[in-house]
Structure 1
Amino acid sequence: MRTLAQASARQLADAWGAWEAPPEIEAIRGPEAGLVMVRGRVGAGGDRFNLGEATVTRATVRLHGGPLAAATVGSAYVLGTDFEHAWFAAAFDGLLADEKLRAQVLNDVLAPLERGQASHDDVRHAEARSTKVDFFTVAREHV
């Protein structure tokens, strides 16, 4: 679900368009946008506190027909208000629920998305590491 939630709506729409004989999608709930409270913990394990609110979009769909052996249900929550993103994430979640299609979805859809996200994360981590300051060295220079 993390991979589907972090993928773009365009990536998921393209993956769905490339799917051979996609099943029918029926809306059960949404997509609909709302707010959730983001909570944190003092010192990562202490008292809880409300950090703020985040906008999320959720969708629940039923998939039937096509290559599915039986109807399946998929659901997704994504940050932001992109209804199409939540819709396709829920659809792929429903495909993952089908035992026959699970391996195909993992190999054909999720693996390429994970590789792309890992590559993007590596670039961002390298940029962050390049701004690292060694405060011990800075303090020793002023002594």
Structure 2
Amino acid sequence: MTELSPQKSERKAWMSLLAKAPAAEVVRLWQAHGAAPEFSWLRAPEVGAVMVRGRAGAVGAPFNLGEMSVTRCSLRLADGTVGHAYVQGRDKDKAQIAALVDALMQTAEADGLRKVMLDPLAAGLAEGATARAARAAATKVEFFTMVRGENA
């Protein structure tokens, strides 16, 4: 497997973050960001399905788990920068915002957009993961073996 360049790796990270973030939070942060730039559609938001594959124990032979809805779109900013998005579900607004953010992150607006949108989204997802881990840890059971006298 070839290793991604740092630029592609960073883009993969923000696209993943946008896809995983709750739609309401993405929309709220985008509205706080300000007005959307001018753009034209390369592919308007469209809903489809993808096959989700799994592996038993993460190492077994792959099998088809089932289908999942996704929304995808592609757009071009006025300066020619292209943005793409694939998001889970049927939320066309989230897909459009994700594509706009993808395009803007490739421009001079990247640093400002990172502070206003991506950093808060990442913090929210990390906080959610920490809360889930704490709930799971609360149900953890410790097993131990006691030595009986006749075995000593």
**TM tier relative to shorter chain:** 0.7 to 0.9
2: CA distance between counterparts of 1:20 and 1:88?
12
1: CA distance between counterparts of 2:89 and 2:36?
26
SS in 2 for 1:49: strand
Match of 1:95 among 79, 104, 121: 104
Moved over 6 A (4+): none
1: CA distance between counterparts of 2:22 and 2:57?
32
Query: TM (normalized to structure 1)?
Result: 0.81
Q: Does 1:133 align with 2:141?
A: yes
How much is the aligned-residue C-alpha RMSD, in angstroms?
A: 2.0
**In the TM superposition, what whole-angstrom CA distance separates every residue of 1:12-31 from its partner, at most 9, and x where no partner exists?**
22333233453113222131
Match of 2:118 among 100, 110, 115: 110
**In the TM superposition, what whole-angstrom CA distance separates every residue of 1:2-50 from its partner, at most 9, and x where no partner exists?**
2211223332223332334531132221311111111122332232111
SS in 2 for 1:121: helix
2: CA distance between counterparts of 1:21 and 1:126?
38
Which runs of 5 or more residues in structure 2 are unaligned?
Answer: 1-14
Identity %: 44
SS in 1 for 2:93: helix
SS in 2 for 1:13: helix
Mapped contact 2:26–2:121 kept (Cα < 8 A):
no
Task: Return 20-29 or 44-53, whichever deviates more.
Answer: 20-29
Quickly say closer, same or farther: Cα 1:42–1:11, change in 2 above 3 A: closer
Q: Does 1:49 align with 2:63?
A: yes
**In the TM superposition, what whole-angstrom CA distance separates every residue of 1:68-92 from its partner, at most 9, and x where no partner exists?**
xx22111111111111111111110
2: CA distance between counterparts of 1:44 and 1:126?
24
Q: Does 1:34 align with 2:48?
A: yes
2: CA distance between counterparts of 1:52 and 1:14?
31
2: CA distance between counterparts of 1:38 and 1:83?
21
